[in-house]
Structure 1
Amino acid sequence: MSGTSVCGGAVIVTNPRSGGGKCARYGVVQRAEGMGAQVWMTSAGQDAASLARDAVRAGARVLGVAGGDGTVSAVAAVAAGTDRPLVVVPAGTRNHFARDLGLDVRDPGLALGALADGEPVRVDLGTVGPRIFVNNVSFGMYADALLEPGYREDKQRAFAAVGPAYLKGEQWVKARVDTPRGTVESPQVVLVSNNPYHLATPRRLGYRLSLATGTLGGIVLKRPAHPPPDLLRHLRDQLWRHEHGPFPADQGALVWSAADITLHGDMEQLDAGIDGEAVRLPLPVECSIRPGALRVLLPKGRPGHCQQ
């Protein structure tokens, strides 16, 4: 498909609210339509997944998505399920998936270049039960912050509201997670990512250097029984050093990679965040990786590089 224009058979599913209206500010709709693509916008009555399914039924050969990571995840699931290539337009606030694809997140419209002469790349997708995730599934402090009123408008306030109880050991994930070093009971944070995050160097902290390793990344943070005075710095240092030696079981941080990661518990459901969207998942929670499940069309001349 590289080098072939697909504009006439493309539908771009767009969330006009993402990124505080980033699509409008950067003229994404006009730029896409100027290239011959159709633009379908989400609304109260039609979400991103339903629009993507409608586009496939209408004969779309390529699916595009302009929005935040939650919108991208919804359309990516349809694209993978129908073997349609996906064009990702980074029109959200954080744009983690687009960033790790190597796209220019400063101007979302530049990603539309993939419609005219896209480079096809295969990347992995994570699954949690029947659901797809492009970035991560989180449990504990981050998942609780998502449930705070006004999280989208003031994320710092939301984390400040839920963080102290976790740092003091008064709140935890009401589950246990299987790890290579045994089962961890009641951690404060569990993060399962679609491919491992880079943690060894501060400059690249939180990036995924590849989206095609065929493995999930697992991070567990558990408050030590005798925490040091600066617990946050201690946990951060443990994460940075995880690649350089064995994990000391009483130090609070564990990082690993695996094809499957499972959480067990005695409760029926567990609060979680999937690509930044608050959900409630039945226990046990089983996460797995689907290697090469998604075809992505990437513009040439992008600033980053998606490793395969």
Structure 2
Amino acid sequence: MTTGLVVTGLTKKFGTQVAVDNVSFTVAPGTVLGLLGPNGAGKSTTINMITGLLNKTSGRVELFGENLTPTNTAIRRRFGVVPQELAIFDDLSAAENVRYFGGLYGLRGTALKTAVTRALAVVDLTDHANQRPATFSGGMQRRLNIAMAIVHQPDLLFMDEPTVGIDPQSRNYILTAIEKMRANGMTVVYTSHYMEEVERLADNIVIIDHGQVIAHGTEAELVNLVTDAKQVTIVVNHADQLELAAITAIAGVQQATLHEQNLQLVLDVASNPLNQVLMTLIDQGVAVDSIDQPKLDLETVFLNLTGRNLRD
């Protein structure tokens, strides 16, 4: 399968301090990679090395099969960068800001005009094209920053915490825009402090801590890394008829407790004995009102793997 981005053994040292240590991962074309890690874990340093904003100590970066080097300007035109800090000219209008960056990527004339209109439409700033960003809300400025990064329609877009400190409406505009860009074939590498954004957007997730990749996979695969059991709560009628010993005797039932009408179970994921539990309840004449299987969320997975909250 063709790969959009291949990062191999990426390392950055500042003197004796190792900020990024042998980081490797791949990103398939047309997918979103969520890059997660606590503050200071090495996420931004990794992105800055990949995009050439920071020289790497060692390692290799390939973009769509080509080695990304400082002299390979053609391949650099195939990606865009949305940095953590806003990169906007306050004395230019929104359209002029986008036009300036389009010109840097070699767009001219009608092609540039069309590209500016398209980029502003993606982030829903068409009606504000002639306004200066100094009059914008923080969320609108973030959206303008994205338009400037996608004006040349890159194949790969790096987004370093693009929704920090913005209003919910602008956040939704940005997330929806990313979903549309992915649907149109764009590859996105996305870092965020908001776990729900990564859960919504990411096809695959890389977790970095202390400069190293400690986990890489889909959300489901990461969940499986930290637990081999799942919790299930069954609300029952006629709980007085329930023989708890018969439930705990079922292979794969790690724990079973009864609190009033709530039968709380811890079940082995591999053997998945839930159906047998239900059959046993029926045999005992115990009616089942509802079954709740709470999902282990990405926040819990992250905390288990790193021992730290995302903002630590």
Normalising to structure 2: TM-score of the pair? Answer: 0.29
Instruction: Report 1 or 2 for greater relative contact order, CA contacts < 8 Å, sequence distance ≥ 6.
Output: 1
TM-score, scaled relative to structure 1: 0.29
Higher helix share: 2
Q: Which has the larger radius of gyration?
A: 2
